[in-house]
Structure 1
């Protein structure tokens, strides 16, 4: 935790958000140090065409319980030294973009001080404020905004979120097989060499030991001319 280079080029990859959350929560629990809890402020976007009657239907407790991709949780628990990932573009000129990984240095009441771990501004110190964020996920039943720090804990990340990153150490955790075309290839190709790759598979019913499914839709290649 004291080495600023430790998290720079290593991560754990998993296929789904719920598995990523499980891994992050487990590691947060065993990491030493005091934790700080940040609660979000959630409210319905009345200018987005929502009816006033929805104010009673979607109360604060219900909005607080919504978790979806690209949105920080209502209860954000952080510790000094923990790696986090930005969920919004804050300052592209300083490298503070969606997907940038940082390491927490100080936890204030109104800002979080972090050190940039990836991109062209490695080592840069950034102050991350709270932001109003509106989820774009179509499965969310109502348009609402969440005021919270635009970060999530990033010991682990989804395979899809890791696209475009090159890392020296990758742990691929597959308690269930990948489920989309090319996802396994993306995960395995994030690492520079096979020596930096570790894969943990759960034995699945009907499959041989130490094996997993590589999902490939061959229809994608039918019209390709070689």
Structure 2
């Protein structure tokens, strides 16, 4: 998969002491850009999106993309920060407001962009964050063809990320139909009220069940049908 190739490319830069980095980029840029190229014809935009992914991967390994002989990256953080400020003005003062949170959202076309926006948003929320790590596995993989590190690195459709950061009063969205009769459906918007090790106490913020407090337990989940995965993954 292209994202896995971008991670491999970044790992090579960090650990293999590659000397001809620009030539390595030119040789493999089509492969590492395949997913972005499917929906975009502007090669410059695709190039920047891939470079941003590589920058983030390098940062997660404690490295700076500026230290490598790659193309110049146009920083879009300022635009994203302005978008967040426009959609969520005075976030610190309104973080406890159910009406404020339930009427605002930022939409994105890619899961990886959603994850990046979520990280920026959670950093802006007041309070201390709690980090949940998933337990990932593959059905019928008795010989461990798929290492845990690889499973942790991917976020298939319909699954939360391996590292989930949450704060009190931050909004979350339910990804499964847990109890439709009581308002817990796929897509239900909620606000976090308390954090436990294996459960999250939330309040429903929309629909006829608005204001109801419920507990969301840690449950095993499998991704929606995803033809890009040659295996059946479980995340808990």
2:110 paired residue number: 16
The secondary structure found in structure 1 opposite 2:173 is: strand
* 2:169 equivalent to 1:81: yes
Q: CA RMSD in A?
A: 1.3
For 2:98 and 2:179, the matched residues in 1 are separated by 22
Deviation at 1:119, TM superposition (A): 2.4
Instruction: Provide, for residues 85-142 of structure 1, a one-character-per-residue CA deviation record: whole Å limited to 9, x for no partner.
Output: 0001110111100000100000011210000012221111010001111113221231
Whether 1:68 and 2:68 are equivalent positions in the alignment is: no
Counterpart of 1:92? 180
Distance 1:39 1:19 in 2: 20
Q: Give deviations 1:13-50, integer Å, cap 9, x for gaps.
A: 2222222222211111121110001111111112xxx5
Number of aligned residue pairs = 141
Does 2:135 match 1:41?
Answer: yes
Cα deviations across residues 118-172 of structure 1 (Å, max 9, x unaligned)?
Answer: 222111101000111111322123112111xxxxxxxxxxxxxxxxxxxxxxxxx
Structure with greater proportional helix content: 2
Secondary structure of the corresponding residue to residue 27 of structure 1: helix
Structure 1 residue 62 displacement after superposition: 1.3
Q: Distance in 2 between matches of 1:59 and 1:144?
A: 12
CA contact 2:115–2:161 (8 Å) conserved in 1: no
TM-score w.r.t. structure 1 length? 0.59
Q: Quick one: distance in 2 between partners of 1:17 and 1:42? A: 18
Aligned twin of 2:97: 3
Matched, 1:121 2:184: no
For residue 133 of structure 1, give the secondary structure of its aligned residue in structure 2: coil
Look up the match of 2:233: 144
Rounded Cα–Cα distance in structure 2 between residues aligned with 1:5 and 1:40: 31
Alpha-carbon distance between aligned partners in 2 of 1:103 and 1:86, rounded to the nearest angstrom: 11
- Structure 1's unaligned 5+ residue stretches are 148-226
- TM alignment of 1:58-207, pairs within 5 A: 58-135=146-223, 136-147=225-236
Structure 2 alignment gaps of length 5 or more: 1-94
